[in-house]
Homo-oligomer: A and B are copies of this chain.
Amino acid sequence: MFTRYRINLFVLPVQSTRMDAIVVGRGESSPRIAELSRPEPGPGEVLVRTLRVGVDGTDREVLAGTHGGFPPGEDFLVLGHEAVGVVADANDTGFEAGEVVVPTVRRPPESGTNEFFARGEPDMAPPEACVERGIDGAHGFMAEFFTSPAEYLVRVPDDLAEWGFLVEPVSVTEKALEHARASRSAFDWDPESALVLGNGSLGLLTLAMLGTRGYDRRYCLGRRDRPDPTIDIVEALGATYVDSRQTPVPEIPAAHESMDLVYEATGYAKHAFECVEALAPGGVGALLGVPDSWTFEVDGGRLHEELVMKNKALVGSVNSNAGHFEAAVETLGDLPAWFREDLVTGIYGVDEYESAFGAADDETAIKTAVQFSET
């Protein structure tokens, strides 16, 4: 009570102990504003004042109830896992107030920490060995403030603060590309052609990243008609747009070429199998989508033979660790300014959160974020 009194007397209104958050309640399928207590950092934790939090397909799956879950014993979940903020209270952690930081997503489960966290690889934990902030079992970052153990915060240069909410999705691709490349490290692999399945924001970010990594020929699969802003970005990146309605994945080698790398960012389960047919000898398919159960026919004999006789691989990849976040900060700084600006089609205030989440219904929207504070 004394603390609260003092705050009310001497400090700015932003330091009220109440704060706005964007949440989804049990049984609900739309986000709403909730007023929550501002969190206080425990030992080893940093208090972060949120700048921006991005919205992606996973958030929409969480809202639809097809992915993730509520924190144990809570009747709501604070949304958001793509955050950037400013250290408000470094709390003797080694950070300094004012530093721009991005939080990683996974935390140890209620049952306690485990080997994956101990070795800095929470991204390799199976679902039961972690929670995911804003997604599964732990509150996210769509609030005016959040706390995090210092070890789960990654520093971002000040001049990237406004784009920092893109660090998380970029880190997911950093990991997937690292694992895909590792899978080809037992031989001399010099990939030149890549196909990104999906022209959402993750697909476009990946396409941009591949452009700086030696993939001379890049393709992006979507199912949209021109004119379309994602097709414009694909082509401005020097890549080729492939309309899946005209050229299904298995026909891409005949129509274009076979691919050293296929990056699946659609969550469309048939793509996980069809991509084998699009791969060049020695190629790898990186799988990132999380589909629901769906039974269908495949020519399993042919796919098996293709994998073996042409030394192909499929690598599933989820989440990312602090090392991938650090790599993503570098990568984000190297992406062309025009690309970031064209990719991010809307930054919305907290009171406009419905527009940030509603972007899926708007074909001119690509990537959106909610802004909690400008600086």
Contacts and interface: CB of A to CB of B under 8 A. Distances in A.
Interface stretch (A163-171, A211-219, A308-316): A308-316
A121 interface: yes
Contacts of A302: 293-294
B308 A269 contact: no
B304 A311 contact: no
Contacts of A269: 300-301, 303-304
Nearest to A273: B300
Q: What number of copies of this chain does the assembly contain?
A: 2
A127 interface: yes
A311 B303 CA distance: 20
Interface in A276-322: 281-282, 287-318
A301 B273 CA distance: 10
Contacts of A290: 304-305, 308-309
Contacts of A298: 273, 295-298, 300
A186 interface: yes
B294 A300 contact: yes
A313 B313 contact: yes
A182 B184 CA distance: 7
A15 interface: no
A358 B296 CA distance: 39
A121 B307 contact: no
Contacts of A124: 187-188, 281-282, 311
A88 B311 CA distance: 35
Contacts of A175: 186
A311 B307 contact: no
Given A270-B300, A296-B297, A296-B300, A318 B314 contact: no
B309 A188 contact: no
Contact of A121 (B126, B187, B293, B310): B187
Interface in A82-99: none
Contacts of A316: 304, 306-313
Nearest to A125: B281
A178 to B, nearest CB: 5
Contacts of A293: 299, 301-302, 305
18 contacts: A124-B281, A179-B313, A182-B183, A182-B185, A183-B183, A183-B315, A269-B301, A272-B304, A273-B298, A289-B308, A293-B305, A295-B298, A296-B297, A304-B316, A307-B315, A309-B318, A310-B318, A314-B314
6 smallest A-B Cβ distances: which pairs?
Answer: A307-B316, A294-B301, A183-B183, A126-B281, A182-B186, A272-B304
